[in-house]
Each structure stands twice: as C-alpha cells, then as structure tokens.
Amino acid sequence: MKAAADIRLLKADADTCCALSVLHGAAFAPQEERQWTADEFLELMQTPSIWTYGLYLDQLVAGFLMLQVVAGEAEIITIAMDPKWHGQGYAKHLLNYLHALCLSQGISKVFLEVREDNLKAIKLYSKAGFVKKGVRQGYYQKQKGKPVDALVFALVIDSIGNS
Ligand SMILES: CC(C)(COP(=O)(O)OP(=O)(O)OC[C@H]1O[C@@H](n2cnc3c(N)ncnc32)[C@H](O)[C@@H]1OP(=O)(O)O)[C@@H](O)C(=O)NCCC(=O)NCCS
C-alpha cells in the first residue's frame, strides 16, 4: 500500500458522519459488530462530553477515535481504522495524539473496554501502555453464539509522558 502523502488529525464535525459510519461498518465487519449509522454518529458528536477526532489521509477520513471525557478522566468509546490502511501505524498515531491531548487538557486517566477476542486491539493498547484492570463477563452480546467478555484497560497519564 502506498503511504499517504498528507496525514492530519482533526476534530470530526457533522459533515463526516456518513463517512465515519461507512468506516465503522468496514472496520468492525470481521467482528460481526453492527455498523453505527450516520444519525447515531451525529447524536454522539452533539454530546458535549464526547470528543471525536478523525485521522485524514490525503484529505479523506481513514480512521477515528471517539472519547467521552468526564471529570478529568476519559473513556475510549471506540477507535477504528479503514481496513485498507491497517498495519501501517495509524492507530498508534491516534493513541499518541490521545496522549498529547490528555496532557494538554489535564486528563489524568483513560479507560476502555475491549472484546477479549480482539487480539489486535489488545496488543495495540498494551503497547501504548494500557494495563488490564478487570473483566466484564458476557459484556458483548452476539447475534449468534455465546456473549464475549470485555477486558477493562486503563492508562494513567503522567506529565513526563511515561504512562
Ligand atoms: C485495532 C485497529 C484500530 C488497529 O489499527 P492499525 O492502524 O492497523 O494499527 P497499527 O498499524 O497502528 O498497529 C499498532 C499496534 O497494534 C497491534 N496490531 C495491529 N495490527 C495487528 C495485527 N494484525 N496482529 C497483531 N497485532 C496488531 C500491534 O501491536 C501494532 O504495533 P506493532 O506494529 O508495533 O506491533 C484496527 O485493526 C481496527 O480498526 N480494527 C477494527 C476496530 C476495532 O477493533 N477497534 C478496537 C475497538 S476496542
């Protein structure tokens, strides 16, 4: 895959809802997760505590990070990259951006939940310094088969940058 010439991280606005919905569907299809609609994205993005950042490659949105920020702590609602850009370090780039954002906004802790069978994401978070804190049994309901446990991860942000 040819590397993108231009990489930008921007706060996503309402105009990107359709593109984010398509991207979400493509990224989560292998996990058989329901695609979030453009209206659902719009509603989430209109919530003041929810912050959404798009990663734009050559002016097209290729990934995103959605957070909920409450009382100085953030929860990653989701992170996804368009499958055609997987494995090129862009999700890592989004998490580096998150770290810098937390430092600049005084956010001291980041949480997330991840399916226990989502090994790529678990590796991504572990490499970014997140530490497993617990398990929520049967948290993810599937259309077929048994529910899947969620692993809870947390990252403490320190001002030195080593978390
Ligand atoms: C998880 C996801 C965001 C990773 O995006 P990506 O841009 O491909 O990830 P990167 O290229 O930045 O890789 C960062 C790290 O993730 C891990 N990783 C990425 N792809 C991997 C793979 N195929 N197998 C194992 N680990 C992988 C590695 O630790 C990698 O670091 P390394 O290359 O130094 O070993 C992407 O696979 C995705 O969109 N998945 C579907 C949505 C999803 O599951 N989101 C998480 C919800 S909790």
Q: Where are the domains of the chain?
A: 7-156
Atom of ligand 1 nearest to the CA of 63: 39
Nearest ligand 1 atom to alpha carbon 112? 48
pLDDT digits (tens, 9 = 90+) for 81-111: 999 999 999 999 999 999 999 999 999 999 9
Most informative mutation of 86, 88, 148 for ligand 1 (most atoms within 8 A of CB) = 86
48-83 per-position pLDDT tens digit: 999 999 999 999 999 999 999 999 999 999 999 999
Active-site residue list: 113, 125
Check residue 52 and report its DSSP letter. Answer: E
Return the biggest CA–CA distance within the chain: 45
- Residues pairing with 50 in the sheet: 68
Ligand 1 atom at minimum distance from 123 CA: 29
- Give the pTM: 0.94
Backbone phi, psi, residue 5, to 5°:
-80, -30
Alpha helices in 106-146 (DSSP H): 119-127
Domain topology for 7-156: Aminopeptidase (3.40.630)
Please choose from 7, 124, 136 the residue to mutate so as to test ligand 1's pocket, defined by most ligand atoms within 8 A of CB: 124
| Angle, in degrees to the nearest 10, between helices 38-45 and 17-28 | 120
121 closest CA partner among 68, 49, 63, 70: 63
